[in-house]
């Protein structure tokens, strides 16, 4: 089992927003028992009646959190010891175990985005083509960030060892891949059209860190950008690869052209990779910071919210101070669990405000202003 070595870290979730919404939508750490075959992220159909729940759930109904996915991984997959990753920027925050493709060829069993909440905290990002997915909206550009750890125990094998990222193009299912293809010595981005773009050299048994950005900005286009082993704790630079899809790029099935429904993100699978491909720590969020959490750094964070900055500093284990610019504009500060349960409320907000957390865990600090709310994630270990 992997155990976090993080003492206290603070990660900014967002600037000024109209509702208290955290940004980590999916976090699949594969926290299932080692050697379990066919693990089930929605609790064998018991979590939200088998529809799953998001990784962060503020003001949602039903309440509670899960990994953000539904379905099960199928008997081709088993739970194995987890992957870890570090580079010059730090160590990726990891926990629990990993998933390995063990048997079979071609596609495994799909897992899909959670759905069917009475009140969905990420409902504003549901795609116009289908509310089962997250993607293109007529009222704004949707940008989703993802990250995942991948490891190929052997290189240059006779099979395509691929993690499948299920997208939708104009509401038709479309396969994109992060993989180590047969006869090859690189990790690549590829898709069902046969497009292949090199990400970096594949080394047997070495874990790689993949970060991606999905941009759904119009009814007629979608784009994926991928970074290969980006430096942790820093801003993302130029992507390793970029691939756009647009009108008439793909006319799968009975799809009509021109497009009218843009693109979306749907779920995960694997293709081939038996005995070779392991993946871990799949995250999906609304910013790069959400999907690149680093152990033991960022002990001070400033929000990018114009004239209403929030700073959070570590004082000692379990103790923080929140420094508020323009405290006269603040009504209160709420400390919530990720499932939305309020554990503490501070009134009479000052320029500096002491926060003590007795229990280990992850919390949300919501700064309630007269016209907006700001949300900061507190990791208290």
For residue 359, pLDDT beyond 70: yes
For residue 141, pLDDT beyond 70: yes
The proportion of the chain whose per-residue pLDDT surpasses 90, expressed as a percent, equals: 61
Helix, strand, coil percent values for the chain (each to nearest 5): 5, 45, 50
The pLDDT of residue 212 is: 98
For all residues of the chain together, what is the average pLDDT? 85
The answer for residues whose C-beta is within 8 angstroms of residue 334's C-beta and 6 or more apart is 20, 342, 344, 345, 346, 365, 366, 368
The pLDDT of residue 251 is: 52
The pLDDT of residue 153 is: 96
For residue 40, pLDDT beyond 60: yes
For residue 314, pLDDT beyond 90: no
The answer for residues whose C-beta is within 8 angstroms of residue 339's C-beta and 6 or more apart is 57, 63, 64, 65
| Section 76-101 average pLDDT | 94
| Section 88-99 average pLDDT | 91
What is the band of 173 on the pLDDT scale with cuts at 50, 70, 90?
A: very high
For residue 152, pLDDT beyond 90: yes
Q: Domain locations in the chain?
A: 24-286, 300-380
The lowest-confidence range among 44-58, 73-87, 362-376 is 362-376
For residue 257, what are its two tokens? 């052209």
Taking only Cα atoms into account, the Rg of the chain, rounded to an integer number of angstroms, comes to: 21
What is the band of 379 on the pLDDT scale with cuts at 50, 70, 90?
A: low
What per-residue string of b and e applies to 109-142 under the rule 16 or more CB within 10 Å gives b?
bbbbbbbebeebbbeebbbbbeebbbbbbeeeeb
The pLDDT of residue 320 is: 75
For residue 92, what are its two tokens? 């990726």
The pLDDT of residue 381 is: 53
- Taking the CA of residue 109 as centre, how many other CA atoms within 13 Å lie in the half-sphere pointing to its CB? 19
The pLDDT of residue 162 is: 96
Q: Between 323 and 214, where is the model more confident? A: 214
| pLDDT, tens only, 202-244 | 999 999 999 999 999 999 999 999 999 999 988 899 999 999 9
- 296 by Cβ neighbours in 10 Å (0-12 / 13-18 / 19+) ranks as middle
What is the band of 317 on the pLDDT scale with cuts at 50, 70, 90?
A: low
| Beta-sheet pairing, 8-12 with 373-380 | antiparallel
The pLDDT of residue 239 is: 98
| pLDDT, tens only, 275-313 | 999 999 999 999 888 899 887 543 333 333 333 467 777
- Architecture per CATH, domain 24-286, reads as Sandwich (2.60)
C-alpha distances (whole Å) from 4 to each of 267, 295, 296 are 27, 8, 10
The pLDDT of residue 281 is: 98
What is the band of 163 on the pLDDT scale with cuts at 50, 70, 90?
A: very high
For residue 6, pLDDT beyond 50: no
The pLDDT of residue 372 is: 82
For residue 368, pLDDT beyond 50: yes
For residue 380, pLDDT beyond 80: no
For residue 111, pLDDT beyond 90: yes
What is the band of 73 on the pLDDT scale with cuts at 50, 70, 90?
A: very high
The lowest-confidence range among 34-48, 299-313, 365-379 is 299-313
What distance in Å separates the CA atoms of residue 36 and residue 358, rounded to the nearest whole number? Answer: 34
| Section 32-46 average pLDDT | 95
Pick the CATH number of 300-380 from 2.60.40.10, 3.40.190.80, 1.10.540.10, 3.10.310.70: 2.60.40.10
The lowest-confidence range among 38-52, 131-145, 353-367 is 353-367
Residue 123 preceded by cis peptide, ω within 30: no
Backbone torsions φ then ψ of 30, nearest 5 degrees? 60, 50
The pLDDT of residue 128 is: 96
The lowest-confidence range among 85-99, 326-340, 348-362 is 348-362
What is the band of 121 on the pLDDT scale with cuts at 50, 70, 90?
A: very high
Q: Between 310 and 90, where is the model more confident? A: 90
Beta bridge partners of 139: none
Closest CA to 112 of 165, 76, 64, 163: 165
Please answer whether residues 162 and 150 qualify as being in contact, where contact means their C-beta atoms are separated by less than 8 angstroms. no
């Amino acid at each position: 089992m992997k155990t976090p070595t993080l003492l206290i870290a603070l990660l900014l979730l967002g600037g000024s927003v109209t509702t208290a919404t955290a940004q980590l939508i999916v976090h699949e750490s594969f926290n299932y028992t080692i050697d379990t075959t066919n693990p089930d992220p929605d609790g064998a159909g018991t979590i939200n009646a088998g529809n799953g729940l998001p990784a962060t759930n503020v003001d949602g109904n039903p309440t509670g959190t899960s990994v953000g996915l539904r379905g099960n991984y199928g008997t081709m997959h088993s739970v194995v010891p987890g992957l870890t990753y570090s580079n010059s920027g730090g160590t990726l925050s990891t926990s629990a175990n990993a998933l390995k493709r063990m048997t079979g060829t071609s596609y495994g069993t799909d897992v899909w985005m959670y759905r069917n909440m009475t009140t969905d905290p990420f409902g504003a990002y549901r795609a116009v083509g289908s509310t089962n997915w997250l993607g293109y909206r007529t009222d704004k550009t949707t940008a989703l960030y993802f990250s995942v750890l991948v490891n190929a125990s052997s290189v240059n094998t006779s099979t395509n060892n691929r993690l499948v990222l299920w997208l939708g193009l104009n509401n038709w299912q479309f396969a994109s891949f992060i993989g180590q293809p047969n006869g090859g010595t690189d990790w690549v981005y590829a898709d069902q059209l046969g497009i292949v773009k090199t990400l970096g050299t594949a080394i047997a048994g070495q874990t790689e860190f993949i970060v991606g950005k999905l941009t759904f900005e119009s009814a007629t286009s979608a784009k994926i950008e991928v970074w290969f082993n980006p430096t942790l704790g820093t801003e993302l630079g130029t992507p390793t690869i970029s691939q756009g899809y647009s009108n008439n790029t793909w006319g799968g099935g009975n799809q009509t052209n021109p497009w009218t429904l843009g693109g979306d993100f749907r779920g995960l699978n694997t293709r081939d990779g038996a005995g070779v491909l392991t993946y871990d720590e799949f995250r999906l969020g609304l910013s790069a910071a959400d999907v690149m959490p680093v152990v033991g750094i960022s002990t001070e964070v400033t929000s990018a919210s114009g004239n209403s900055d929030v700073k959070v500093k570590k004082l000692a284990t379990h103790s923080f101070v929140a420094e508020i610019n323009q405290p006269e504009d603040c009504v209160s500060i709420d400390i919530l669990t990720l499932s939305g349960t309020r554990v503490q409320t501070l009134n009479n907000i000052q320029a500096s405000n002491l926060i003590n957390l007795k229990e280990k865990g992850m919390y949300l600090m919501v700064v309630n202003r007269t016209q907006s709310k700001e949300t900061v994630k507190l990791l208290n270990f």
